[in-house]
Chain A
Amino acid sequence: MKKEIHKVLIANRGVPAVRIMHTCRDRKIATTAVYSTPDRLAHHVYMADSAVHIGDAPPAKSYLNMERIIEAAHASKSDAIHPGWGFLSENPQFAQAVIDEGFIWVGPPPEVIKVLGDKIQAKKIAQSASVPIIPGISPVKDAKDIKEWMEKNAITFPIIIKAAAGGGGKGMVRVDSKRELVNAFNQAQSEALKSFGDTRVMVEKYIEHGRHIEVQIVADVYGNVIHLFERECTLQRRHQKIIEEAPSPSLRDDLRREICFAAVRLMREVKYVSAGTVEFIFDAPNKKFYFLEVNTRLQVEHGITELITGLDIVGMMLDIAMGKELHVKQSDIRPNRWALEVRLNAENPKNFSPSFGKITRLLVPQGPGVRIASGVYEGADIPPYYDSLIMLLITAGVDRDDAIRVMDRALGRNLRVEGVKTLAPLLLAIIRHPAFIAGEFSTYFIETHMDELIAAFRYNYSEDEVLKIANYVAEISALGPQKWM
């Protein structure tokens, strides 16, 4: 059953919206952007062929507002909707509504999203596909449930509380001691409600020094399921990934094969369609991996897989949505590059406090081996209501050292963002850290080395210093000689 897509509405903003529009441009498919009031002049709005206002700043009024988005699709005569990542991308009701309204949904079927979106059910599926899972309990009503489960199964701290409907680090709280348990439980529940409208939480044993490895899957409607190899996403801060790379430096080829096929098995079991990612926690010392969850959407870090395989995952999603058969077989996928991605968030690099405001200057790195996915432009405003990601910097090289070298150049010499703070100094400090270079790190890496990383920040860029001098010139020019003069 083949359907043509002539115009795609992208139910998103910022980096993902811009990324998807790039492929649409390649494919000569028209695009519709949606925007909230503060995003009226945002980058994605100008990238699109048409744009529709869908409500006020709070996500619930705009980017999570299904009705308004579907109205916008009708009004703009779009025939398909791509949800990007975040917002409604893993919302089965939305996917269903899109289909019911006669649009093509560029993503997995709603029932698959629903089943995999529930971490409790997802674990059951993993079990039936013979994929190993972490000890855990779900659902939990209160802190007492957790204490009982821990006592009964001789589980020790740390543990992690997660929103059952969650993802993206929201509603996830790590607990290290009994004393924190109540606060942590309340926080997880409250964040779960805020982010997903669902208070259900689950609890798992926290794998210490675990590494986070995920497998990119693409599947068509004809039951062809292939993997595009793995990505390593261990470097996180508060469960949000900051640096990703492909392939994983922590896997040997036999384990790589094993983990990739486990992912394919699971996705076949659930009759997955479109692009999706199976996430694992890898217990490196014991060479064991456990199923974590499936992300039923395009992922932020899909770009590194594209760079090592030469494929366009967004393009494949569009093809699959149009009912085409996969144009590659598993044996065609032969990665021959190493790729590294850093997430440039508009945050204070010392404490991750969000930094919003106007980007007064933006110089984007260029040169060999660099791919940039930017959600902003010079002069753009970063509103305080949404995710702080403003740009993805991806570099590729023949091997890991090469990719790191290119990233060092991109972050350290070419990139310049004025007006808001970004994570750039931290990212640079991380990729220059000997442990990172040696590939020896865990999800704790940033917390453990934070002081060391901050100490490595370079502050004295002459460009910054000259702006301070210019600030003085501006003031004295406007105000005239000071009292003591």
Chain B
Amino acid sequence: MSKYGFVKPGMGAHEIVKKVRDSREVFFASTAMRDAGQSDYKNRLRIHDLLTLAPLYNEMGLFSAECHGGARWHVGIMNRKENPFEEVRLLRKAMPNILLQTLVRETSLWGYRPYPPNVVKYAVSYVDIDVWRCFSFLNDIRNMEPVAEVVINKGKLFEPTISFTDADWTTDQYYLGVIDEIVALCGGISDIILCIKDMAGVGTTKRIGTLIDKIKQRYPDLIIEYHRHMTDGLALPAYLSAAKAGAKIFDVEEDSLVRFYGEPPMLAVEAYFEEAGIHVHLNREAAEDAVLKVREWIGNYEWAESPFKGFDHTVTYHRMPGGAFPSSFEQASKGDFLELMPAILKVMSLYNRIIHYFDVTPGSQITWVTCSGIVNKYAKEQGNIGVKHLIGLLNKFIIEQDQNFESMDKEEQEELLKIFRNAPDDFRNLILGQYGQLPNGWPAGWVYESTFGDAWPEKIKTRNDLSPVDLLKEDSLKRLRSNLEEAIGRNATDEEFVLYLMHPKDAVEYIEWHEKYGEAALVLPTSIWREGLKKPGDKVEFDFWGKPYCIELASIGAEHDGVVQVVLLVNNKTKVYAVQTPHAKKEDKRMAKGANDIPSPVNGTVWRIGNPKRGTLQVGDIVYKGEEMANVEAMKMENVIAAPFAGQIREICVKLNELVQEGQLLFVIDKKVGSTEQGILPADS
């Protein structure tokens, strides 16, 4: 261990916490490998580049590297095509001395909906992570229990996290109550680190100092980590204030990675703290090298930066979290409503007074979809005047009338009673308690009426105060796994199954992508990954599994019938790839997937449908188990397609003499189990 190392993987939670507590220094946790990408680069930073920081981190004396979780997991399999399990393996190898940290959303883990406890526990048990930062967008501590149980049992460090915002209802008393619940859940404070997650970056110098001071008064030995985004432009003074009040760990990223919505710059924070007499445990030389290292590749990500740049102090009103900034603006830009963003942010700042929760995943998505939906609806129906009118109405109701519904005119009431009518399902589930209890009580009755219309009294009866941990029925892991295996047509690994549990559709697509393109996402440099080779003679060189490789472009042909011929030299050997463009005519071969689908066992010709005894089969015909349904000939060998069970033909998917592929769908048959059908089936002898 280098002289800066003080905690490392393999240490128990108690030992780690004690080392931090016993030190007179403060510590940095780097969020460069997780949140820097999420908050300023739409999660596009690739492990290929982030890995270059790992050897430096190994010597830097960081408390931990948050390299996992949040939206990085999902965007990894969906877009970057990086497997979070593989990332952990690569990072462990490159920085064995560093605690690896994840960010999980209590019952939603790395996904967006609450999973039942058995799914949560299963997934957590397969992930090799040392520090588990776990937050709830409702501060509903009950929801953390399944994660806490597995993490603590594995001897890993559990880092319960309170979501922080600055509102009239988020008093010291409120937060202390939440922390009391956490302490009860974790059986004390000796084996945990408490994180305050200021994901929008709204904690003022004074506010954050007071809060930490109050917490330290109640729990003097509790280690506090302060996680803060820079959106309001006031992160550094807030950090200093937190440090003075007794926070021990601060989240930072390389100064050269910093843009506007992520965590503060590490070198600057270190210098600022040192000047104030607070000593930071940091190998500054390694940190400076890391800052330089980032400059080598960050230029490849300009395309990924938020279309909206610059600090935004109005975040203190609308509270959009750092991680949602670039993606929301990207969506607005793609949806062609970028000009509505000021109005949407304004509506968000009013909306969060009607329904109280914390704007962090999945809450921030609910806020975003609900508010952008309302504004878009007004804009579409009534144009700019409509949007203005909407803001006026909400202003009057919330600010002027202090949400006194009865004080509004009849017409205004009616309008309010329709405002949430098109709200997304997640919003409906939220106010019905499907995610857990709201931190400051349920919204007023008119919100339910506005959302559900006349059915609202019945709906409100279904609302409950239980946690999803108690509410959700266990999923059958066996059934889910067989769904996955059916989708990918082979046995799944445990890791693939965990990916599937989080994001079923994207996981299947990722697995299929990986089978086709292998390790392209890990091996290729970012410029090639994004743009490919541009002109003949351009090449990319890399080492792979201990041997050198080179891919050189020889030529790219013109598009013809939706196909472009690309000639590559792979280690000097010519290889031609026929690349289908979006104009390519899709040859839509249906493959057999389900239990009722009868596949062709071989590539060949369907030269007979039916059998000699019975003649040709038709849709609706009953077949008995083992009866020949068709015959496929390949290289002069005949292959009998026998019915796997007794049933009725629902569909015949091929024509006579059609050339079929192995696995191509030939028939769909419905299983017959009733006794009536069995009467007419020849008995199996």
Interface residues of A (CB under 8 A from B): 170, 178-179, 182-183, 186-187, 190-191, 194-195, 238, 348, 351-356, 360-361, 384, 386-388, 462, 464-481, 484-485
**A478 and B575: CB pair below 8 A?**
no
Q: Is B568 an interface residue (CB 8 A)?
A: yes
List of B residues within 8 angstroms of A352 by Cβ: 602
B632 — nearest CB in chain A belongs to which residue? A353
Chain A residue numbers with a CB within 8 Å of B581 are: 478-479
Asked if B32 is an interface residue, CB under 8 A from chain A, the answer is: no
Report if A466-B549 is in contact (Cβ < 8 Å); known contacts: A187-B638, A355-B603, A471-B577. yes
Q: Which of A190, A238, A384, A469 contacts B519 (CB 8 A)?
A: A469
Chain B 419-461, CB-CB to A under 8 Å as 1, else 0, gives 0000000000000000000000000000000000000000000
B530 touches A187 (CB 8 A): no
CA distance A465 to B304 in the complex (A): 28
* CA distance in complex: A468, B514 (Å): 9
A467 to chain B, nearest CB (A): 7
A221 to B673 Cα, complex, angstroms: 68
Query: Within residues 571 to 591 of chain B, which ones have a CB less than 8 A from any CB in chain A?
Result: 571, 573, 575-577, 579, 581-582
Set B44, B516, B640: member contacting A183, Cβ < 8 A: B640
B:74-96 near A, CB below 8 Å: 78-79
Chain B residue contacts of A464, Cβ below 8 A:
518
- The answer to whether residues A473 and B532 also contact, given A466-B549, A478-B564 and a CB cut-off of 8 A, is yes
**Closest CB of chain B to A38's CB: distance in Å?**
14
Q: How far is the CA of A187 from the CA of B630 in the complex (A)?
A: 12
Query: Which among B516, B534, B564 is the interface contact of A468 at CB below 8 angstroms?
Result: B516
Q: Chain B contacts of A484 at CB under 8 A?
A: 78-79
**Residues on the B chain within 8 Å of A351, using CB:** 601-602, 662
Bound Cα distance from A472 to B519, whole angstroms: 10
Bound-state CA distance A183–B532 (Å) is 55
With A465-B544, A474-B568, A475-B577 as contacts: A195 and B636 at CB distance below 8 Å = yes
Task: Contact check, A466 vs B570: say whether CB atoms are below 8 A apart.
Answer: yes
CB-CB under 8 A for A462 and B637, given A179-B626, A485-B530: no
Contact across chains for B516 and A471 when beta carbons are under 8 A apart = yes
With a cutoff of 8 Å between Cβ atoms, the chain B residues found around residue A356 in the complex are 603
Size category of the binding interface on chain B: 35 or more
A354, B604: Cβ atoms closer than 8 Å: yes
Query: How far, in angstroms, from A472 to B568 measured CA to CA in the complex?
Result: 11
A357 nearest in chain B by CB position: B603
What CA separation (Å) do A356 and B304 show in the bound complex?
Answer: 44
**Would you call A469 and B523 a contact (CB within 8 A)?**
yes
Contact of B638 with A481 in the complex, beta carbons under 8 Å:
no
Evaluate contact between A354 and B533: CB separation under 8 angstroms.
Answer: no
Q: A354 and B634: CB pair below 8 A?
A: yes
Closest to A346 in B: B635
B649 is an interface residue with CB less than 8 A from chain A: no
Residue B566 at the A interface, CB < 8 A?
Answer: yes
Chain A: CB-nearest residue to B634: A354
Q: Which residues of B contact A190 (CB under 8 A)?
A: 612, 638
Across the interface, A353 reaches (CB within 8 A) one of B547, B603, B684, namely B603
CA distance A376 to B493 in the complex (A): 38
Smallest Cβ-Cβ distance to A363: which chain B residue: B573
CB within 8 Å for A462 and B579 given contacts A356-B603, A470-B570? no
Report the nearest A residue to B520, measured CB to CB.
A472
Is B286 in contact with chain A by the CB < 8 A criterion?
Answer: no
Q: Can you name 16 A-B pairs with beta carbons within 8 Å? A: A190-B638, A191-B638, A194-B638, A353-B603, A353-B604, A354-B604, A384-B635, A387-B635, A469-B518, A470-B568, A473-B528, A473-B532, A477-B566, A478-B579, A479-B579, A485-B44
Task: A306 to B304: give the CA distance in the assembly, Å.
Answer: 67
Q: B530 to A178, Cβ gap below 8 A?
A: no
**Shortest CB–CB separation between residue B335 and chain A, in angstroms?**
14
Q: A462-B545, A473-B533 are in contact. Are A238 and B551 (CB under 8 A)?
A: no
Q: Measured between alpha carbons, how far is A354 from B685 in the docked complex, in Å?
A: 33
Q: By the criterion CB–CB under 8 Å, are A353 and B634 in contact?
A: yes
Our pick among A179, A187, A194 for the contact of B636 (Cβ within 8 Å) is: A194
- Supposing A194-B636, A384-B635, A481-B531 touch, asked if A348 and B577 sit within 8 A by C-beta, the answer is no
Structural contact, B579 and A472, CB atoms closer than 8 A? no
Pair A468/B518 contact, Cβ less than 8 Å = yes
Apart from A186-B611, A465-B518, A469-B518, list 10 A-B contacts with CB within 8 A: A179-B626, A179-B685, A183-B640, A351-B602, A468-B518, A469-B519, A472-B517, A476-B529, A480-B532, A481-B530
Partner of A472, one of B79, B524, B575: B524
Decide: A473 near B568, CB < 8 A? Known: A170-B637, A361-B573. Answer: yes
In the complex, A238 Cα to B636 Cα: how many Å?
Answer: 13
B540 at the interface (CB under 8 A from A): yes
Contact between A478 and B556, CB atoms less than 8 A apart: yes
Residue pair A170, B573 in contact (C-beta under 8 Å) = no
By a CB distance below 8 angstroms, the chain A residues around B556 are 477-478
Q: Does B553 contact A (CB under 8 A)?
A: yes
CB-CB under 8 A from A466, the residues of chain B are 518, 544, 549, 551, 570-571
Q: A354-B635, A473-B532, A475-B577 are in contact. Are A462 and B551 (CB under 8 A)?
A: no
- B613 interface residue per 8 A CB criterion: yes
With a cutoff of 8 Å between Cβ atoms, the chain A residues found around residue B519 in the complex are: 465, 468-469
Closest chain B CB from A240 CB (angstroms) = 9
Contact yes or no, B636 A474, CB < 8 A = no
A194 to B635, CA, bound (A): 11
CB <8 Å contact, A468 and B520: yes
CB distance from B633 to the nearest CB of A (A): 8
B628 located at the interface, meaning its Cβ lies under 8 Å from any Cβ of chain A in the complex:
yes
B626 touches A473 (CB 8 A): no
**A170, B529: Cα distance in complex, Å:** 50
Residues of chain A lying within 8 A (CB to CB) of residue B78: 484
Q: How far is the CA of A480 from the CA of B568 in the complex (A)?
A: 16
A179 touches B628 (CB 8 A): no
Our pick among A183, A384, A388, A479 for the contact of B628 (Cβ within 8 Å) is A183
B44 proximity list for chain A (CB < 8 A): 485
> Which residues of A have CB within 8 Å of B602?
351-354
Complex interface: chain B residues within 8 A of A182 (CB): 613
Which of A348, A351, A466 has the most chain B CB within a 10 Å cutoff?
A466
Least Cβ–Cβ distance between B635 and chain A, in angstroms? 5
Bound: A388/B628 CA distance, A? 26
Q: Are A476 and B530 in contact (CB under 8 A)?
A: yes
- A194 and B636 CA atoms in complex are apart in Å by 8
In angstroms, Cα B635 to Cα A388, docked, is: 7
Taking the nearest CB of chain B, how far is it from the CB of A271, in angstroms? 32
* Bound: A183/B604 CA distance, A: 20
Q: Closest residue of chain B to A168, judged by CB?
A: B636
* A466 (CB) vs chain B CBs: closest residue: B549
Given that A183-B628, A351-B602 are contacting pairs, would A462 and B544 also be in contact in the complex, using a CB cutoff of 8 Å? yes
